[in-house]
Amino acid sequence: MSEKFSNLGLSQSVVDAVTDAGYTQPTDIQQKAIPHILEKRDIVGIAQTGTGKTASFVLPMLTLLGKGRARARMPRTLILEPTRELAAQVHENFEKYGKNHKLTVALLIGGVSFEEQNKKLDRGADVLIATPGRLLDHFERGRLLMTGVEIFVIDEADRMLDMGFVPDIERVSALLPKRRQTLLFSATMPDEIAKLTSKFLTNPERIEVARQNSTAETITQKAVKVGTKPFEKRAALRDQINAAKELNNAIVFCNRKRDIATLTRSLERHGFNAGALHGDMDQKSRMATLDGFKAGKIKILVASDVAARGLDIPEVSHVYNFDVPTHAEDYVHRIGRTGRAGRSGQAISLVTKADEKYLTAIEKLIEQTIPVETFQQDGADNAAQENPKSERPKRTRGGKKQQPAENAEKSAEAPSTESPKSTKTGRKKRSGHDNQDRVPFGQSDQVPAFLLRPVRRAS
């Protein structure tokens, strides 16, 4: 087996760029996939996240694209990604490893104006990286022709399936020339994806560098049993973060987008440096948050599966599942954000009584038993700490603030100095001078404040 990039058949300019990036030895998926891709074979690559899967198709594509030039609106290669962040990440790989080439790379994702993307397409794109929706939008507008695509890459195929993009992939595939090279990569291989490979690929070479649905051995996993109340889970999360050793930064996963904002505010209120990342954010905000996390300005990233899928941030030391994923495959992807490139990582999941069935499914999938511990807490103290507003006096129906229990007891012991208010049934009708509660003007001991103001006389 090859031990150096120079032995894989890559061009010297690509090898030099990889060396400049600080890499000397290819990973398993790169060693097995690159030679077959250079031979223009169709590939089905199955590798857990963090194994260098992206570079395994970027590097040979740069070598194959060394000759030739793209024509206007006719890209030479097409790479489909399920999310904007993944597409932007692949774009960064081409910029890093293709610095010795004069290739044009276009990025078609949502949140960016069509005019700016049209300008890049009009100049001709050697590499087109896109999400399915935005790609089809450009095609329907007549701004894109895909009859010149030589290499078609379907990345994160299992995530495409989860997000409902398979019909879009089938439509895109029908628009491409039949004589092309197709590369399909995925961390897992569900039966649905296995059936679809026969439609997209021709006699593919299957490459599997790790047991399907396995987790990296460098990741230490555990589960923490918590109560069902939200403040109990938030208290358990803070406890785990505070107790963590060598925490560089962390990603906290939530199942629902509405919980992300709540959890982020809770962490910030308790002094943690946290940021949110989910699919409903505009592209500018999402990229700013992601850049801040990569740069170390944000230490804890609270995210959804869609937003954080496939993010390549090697320094992530901890992953917390605030919510246990309902699909066991998502657990593999989530904890794969840590323990990347041979580094060690920690994965902690907060498990309620209702989550135990999901934890069982995860253990069955990864064929491992996850150690479980129980979080002990003072529920009353945590509730008051998490919900400071609950200590504020509540307002009654009439708008008067309700007294706390201690003040209510004191008030019961002391005689009341207030005049009793009439009940609803015995309320007196106030009309004119018959109202006995009113004091005639001039007889009150207290003069209205506005009458005490000095009056400016005209000179």
In this structure, are 223 and 126 located in the same domain?
A: no
pLDDT of residue 378: 60
Q: How far apart, in whole angstroms, are the C-alpha atoms of residue 230 and residue 266? A: 11
By CB neighbour count within 10 A (0-12 exposed, 13-18 middle, 19+ buried), where does 125 fall?
Answer: buried
pLDDT of residue 308: 59
Q: Looking at the domain assignment, is residue 420 inside a domain?
A: no
Q: How many CB atoms lie under 10 A from the CB of residue 366?
A: 19
Q: Which secondary structure element, helix H or strand E, spans residue 251, and what is its range?
A: strand 250-253
Q: Looking at the domain assignment, is residue 213 inside a domain?
A: no
In this structure, are 17 and 155 located in the same domain?
A: yes
- Per-residue burial over 289-300, b if 16 or more Cβ lie within 10 Å, else e, is bbebbbeeebbb
Of 53, 63, 75, nearest to 157 by C-alpha is 53
In this structure, are 99 and 197 located in the same domain?
A: yes
pLDDT of residue 245: 87
> What's the CATH code of the domain at 28?
3.40.50.300
In this structure, are 106 and 160 located in the same domain?
A: yes
Per-residue CA distances from 455 to 102, 448, 452 (Å):
83, 15, 9
Task: Give the tens place of pLDDT for each residue, 294-341.
Answer: 899 999 999 988 755 667 777 899 999 999 999 888 898 889 888 876
Q: Which domain holds residue 258?
A: 219-389
In this structure, are 239 and 376 located in the same domain?
A: yes
In this structure, are 194 and 223 located in the same domain?
A: no
In this structure, the strands spanning 300-303 and 318-321 are unpaired
By CB neighbour count within 10 A (0-12 exposed, 13-18 middle, 19+ buried), where does 2 fall?
Answer: middle
In this structure, are 203 and 346 located in the same domain?
A: no
Of 80, 78, 138, nearest to 113 by C-alpha is 138
Task: Give the tens place of pLDDT for each residue, 16-59.
Answer: 999 999 888 999 999 999 999 999 999 999 987 667 889 999 99
pLDDT of residue 454: 53
- Of 334, 363, 389, the one marking the end of a domain is 389
- Of 389, 407, 423, the one marking the end of a domain is 389
The answer on pLDDT for 422 being more than 50 is no
Residue 442 φ/ψ region, left for φ over 0, alpha for ψ in the -120 to 50 degree band, beta for the rest: left
In this structure, are 204 and 223 located in the same domain?
A: no
Q: Looking at the domain assignment, is residue 27 inside a domain?
A: yes
Q: Looking at the domain assignment, is residue 353 inside a domain?
A: yes
Q: Looking at the domain assignment, is residue 406 inside a domain?
A: no
pLDDT of residue 414: 45
The answer on pLDDT for 430 being more than 70 is no
Per-residue CA distances from 70 to 115, 126, 129, 130 (Å):
20, 5, 14, 17
Q: How far apart, in whole angstroms, are the C-alpha atoms of residue 154 and residue 169? A: 8
User: Residue 385's pLDDT band (boundaries 50, 70, 90)?
Assistant: low
Q: Looking at the domain assignment, is residue 347 inside a domain?
A: yes
Mean pLDDT for the chain overall: 82
- Of 367, 389, 411, the one marking the end of a domain is 389
In this structure, are 202 and 251 located in the same domain?
A: no
In this structure, are 251 and 381 located in the same domain?
A: yes
Residue where the block lists tokens 């009859």? 147
Q: How many structural domains compose the chain?
A: 2
Task: Give the tens place of pLDDT for each residue, 130-174.
Answer: 999 999 999 999 999 999 999 999 999 988 988 899 999 999 999
Residue 395 β-bridge partners = 401
Task: Give the tens place of pLDDT for each residue, 59-105.
Answer: 999 999 988 888 889 999 999 999 888 899 999 999 999 999 989 99
In this structure, are 176 and 72 located in the same domain?
A: yes
Q: Looking at the domain assignment, is residue 432 inside a domain?
A: no
In this structure, are 80 and 12 located in the same domain?
A: yes
Q: Which secondary structure element, helix H or strand E, spans residue 225, and what is its range?
A: strand 219-225
Of 239, 182, 275, 191, nearest to 378 by C-alpha is 239
Per-residue CA distances from 157 to 18, 126, 196, 456 (Å):
26, 23, 10, 81
Q: Looking at the domain assignment, is residue 435 inside a domain?
A: no
pLDDT of residue 310: 60
The answer on pLDDT for 240 being more than 90 is yes
